[in-house]
Amino acid sequence: MNYEYMLGAYSVAWVVIFAYMFIIGKRHDKLKKEIEFLKQLDQ
């Protein structure tokens, strides 16, 4: 029933989407740390 192709394709698609979201999250964290640092600097 060639399920393996379907599973392969869907897992690849989700891996790419989640990897992108993960990268976005990483960037956010980095920026948040920077903001925290700046806030501390401000006080």
Partner 1 sequence: MSMNLEREKAVLHGTQLANTKGPNISKVLFGATVISMLVSLYFIFIFAAEETTMHAAQKIFYFHVSSAWLAFMAFFVTFVFSILFLIKRKRIFDTYAYVSAEIGVVFTIIVLTTGPIWARSAWNTWWVWEPRLITTLILFFIYIAYIMIRQMDGVWDKKARLAAVFGIIGFADVPIVFFAIRWWQTKFHPIVFGDGPSQQGGGIESTMLAALLITITAFTILYAYLLQKGVSFENMRIKVDQYKEKVREQLEK
Here the tokens at position 8 are 């392969």
- Minimal distance in Å, beta carbon 35 to partner 1? 5
Return d(Cα 4, Cα 33) in angstroms, integer. Answer: 42
- Residue 33 found at the interface with partner 1 (CB under 8 A): no
- Residue 12 found at the interface with partner 1 (CB under 8 A): yes
Residues engaged in binding partner 1 (CB under 8 A):
1-3, 5-6, 8-10, 12-13, 16-17, 20-21, 24, 27-28, 31, 34-35, 38-39, 41-42
